[in-house]
Amino acid sequence: MPENSAATQRADVLWLARLEYRFHAWRERRARKLGLTPTVAAFPGYGGAGWVRVLGRVLITPAGRRDAGSEYSSVRGWRSFLAVPIGFAQVTVRIGDATHEVVADRGGVVDTVLQADLSPGWHAVAMSVEDGEPVETRVFVVGDDTRFGIVCDVDDTVMVTALPRPLVAAWNSFVVDEHARQPVPGMSVLLERLVRENPGAPVVYLSTGAWNVGPTLLRFLSRHLFPAGAVLLTDWGPTHDRWFRSGIEHKSANLERLAEQFPQIKWLLIGDDGQADDAVYTAFAGNHPESVSAVAIRRLSSTQAVLAGGRTTVNDHSASAVPWVSGDDGAALLERLEDAGIARD
Kindly report, as residue ranges, where domains of CATH 2.60.40 are found in the chain: 39-141
Q: Give the pairing type, strands 203-210 and 292-298.
A: unpaired
Q: What are phi and psi of 46, to 5 degrees?
A: -145, 170
What is residue 6's predicted lDDT score, i.e. its pLDDT? 43
pTM of the complete model: 0.85
Give the burial string for 297-310 (b: 16+ CB within 10 Å, else e): bbbbeeebbebbbe
Q: State the CATH architecture for 39-141.
A: Sandwich (2.60)
Kindly report, as residue ranges, where domains of CATH 3.40.50.1000 are found in the chain: 148-339
What is residue 181's predicted lDDT score, i.e. its pLDDT? 75
54: CB partners within 8 A, 6+ apart: 45, 93, 95, 102, 110, 111, 112, 113, 114, 125, 127, 139
- The CA distance from 104 to 39, in Å, is 12
- The CA distance from 217 to 178, in Å, is 9
What is residue 240's predicted lDDT score, i.e. its pLDDT? 45
What is residue 150's predicted lDDT score, i.e. its pLDDT? 98
What is residue 10's predicted lDDT score, i.e. its pLDDT? 45
Rounded to the nearest 10 degrees, the angle between the axes of helix 330-339 and helix 187-197 is: 40
- The CA distance from 235 to 107, in Å, is 7
The string of pLDDT tens digits covering residues 190-234 is 999 999 999 999 999 999 888 888 888 899 999 999 999 999 999
- The CA distance from 299 to 288, in Å, is 24
CB atoms within 10 A of CB 67: 11
Identify the CATH number of the domain defined by range 148-339.
3.40.50.1000
Q: Which residues of the chain register pLDDT less than 50?
A: 1-11, 13, 65-78, 164-169, 171-172, 174-175, 238-243, 303, 305-311
N-to-C CA span, the chain: 56
Strand locations in 168-226, DSSP E?
A: 203-210
Residues 57, 104 contacting (CB under 8 angstroms): yes
The string of pLDDT tens digits covering residues 61-78 is 876 544 434 443 444 444
Strand locations in the chain, DSSP E?
A: 39-48, 51-60, 84-85, 90-95, 98-103, 109-115, 121-129, 135-141, 148-152, 203-210, 230-234, 266-272, 292-298, 324-327
